[in-house]
Structure 1
């Protein structure tokens, strides 16, 4: 329907309750503007429980099985996962992580009054100084409110300007938030400010925001992240000449796009990055993303125009940002030829660039060592071009 009728947005995800014979159907979350997770019936059949993202958090919710208001059960800045109920559904256990805690098991009554049962990472955290992120809110040039977070250096030097790395999440229909991130803490421990944002197309902010880049990837999302960079420079002691940008999947795409639009970044690291939507259409395993969000395939005029306009490779002339490309050779979601094209464009223009290829690695599910190598390679690239030592 979305493709046939050329909607200017995608379809919402809702929870439905069906009668056994299929004669009745109730949309339980029709008036709830977020995305529900997998449902679970209560023992007495009165409630349907599910988790869902809201802003930068993930919490436990429930809704009456015959329809009604959605109720949030858990609270706090963090992410709930792996929920398990007692037989009578009066007690619930779940994993909960926060920006400074990789996660532990909590138990409570219907999610309220929860108490921690484990301290799995307490010994590991002893002696490690982790910075706490600060929430941000700012407006994009068109007035749209955007949220994000700034993770400061773990050991900032007073009176000094530090380098900053902008990180961009994948999706684009995903979200950063109050989760624990080894990658970001590693950069923080090296003396970087780490800016991570939820630009338009992110989830957790309603349907209009989720589909805010429909037909215009590289426009509103680019404006949002650059407005975040400007806000960060106005708020924190950051050296504007030592800015880096990195991302994976969609984040890799937007990294490629950014370096074709501005020379404000002194280093970039693009993971599993798209450079050419036309070639990606014919080689990736999700062509419908292009058919829907770009209004058609490359042989139709509107689709062709949008795909080419949003492809970094067609805007690569004059790129000057030193860029590292990291890609799995067995990636079918974003085939490796996408990064190869952008790498060649930079090499032809004598822009400092490096390509690291990972054999037998897909879009996700990397082995721990290859994932760690990718993270460390990104940090070392930033160190090379930005330098982690603060400038007085």
Structure 2
């Protein structure tokens, strides 16, 4: 297959048009938020560790219009019906399905101190070109777009780190996915040509220039089109295993451990729990090494950390699938500087960093390898680090 992009629609224009069609008037404004690629640092966020994602060009947009009552109504291009609920009746148990993402944010704003007692209801319409189930955080893109839209429209005055917590709470309590805060932070704090180096314990964030374009490098996303869902068992089981390992080792979180602690961990833990712990400990170090190497040597030198991250996720954390392994191995065999699966695992996407001239070659070879194995045709496209959540209209 030829290289493709996901940008076949303009989500902002589609949100404006969809809002007018569903609600019969122009929206008061449109906000958008990007998906994200996690360059490195997988399953470290809920262990209070380090992550290094960046926002991508693909975005979710939300058009918002005011109402003269307390009703919240939400519609979208990817579902057939409007969902509505009285703001006074909104609880984590009162919504489900796709509407749990935007409506969960409205509930979570109140949990973070926003006074919603006197605000008026709103109509919302969502449109997106972030691939769903690809490990590019389409869910956080929804949450962050809605969070900023409601914060600004209702005049709540919450800062972006707090809005990231709002999005995480919505995903944890309303959607039921036990995810960390990385995705929301990347969407809200991202900048062009830069990654967000986030300490998930202190929530200190530093924007780090990536320099891919200046170095003649591209980051290729290989969406295996094997969908995953974080509200189901595999992700939760890994989190439970990490918590059990921390408890057995007498630490509050795995962030407190370093590679020198692994020998003791091997003696105290069963094999599976030890391997889960080893992934998190070594992945934290790989994040630190990647950021340091970017600064000292540039992006062309970070490949070994990407490669080692994939091996750790495949063998120690066991969250890869054959399609992801094939995508990574094929990219590496055809000259990629480094490659790894990205996202929570059990499907989704791989990423490969390479010189620009190799993009069509790797794209062709990965597609051919998938066809030879009888796998579903992958979607393959390049991404650039882009601006975070913003008001567009």
Q: Which band: TM-score by shorter chain?
A: under 0.3
Larger C-alpha radius of gyration, 1 or 2? 1
Q: Structure 1 length as normaliser, TM-score?
A: 0.24
User: Greater share of strand residues, 1 or 2?
Assistant: 1
- Where relative contact order (Cα < 8 A, 6+ residues apart) is larger, the structure is 2
Structure having the larger proportion of residues in helix:
2
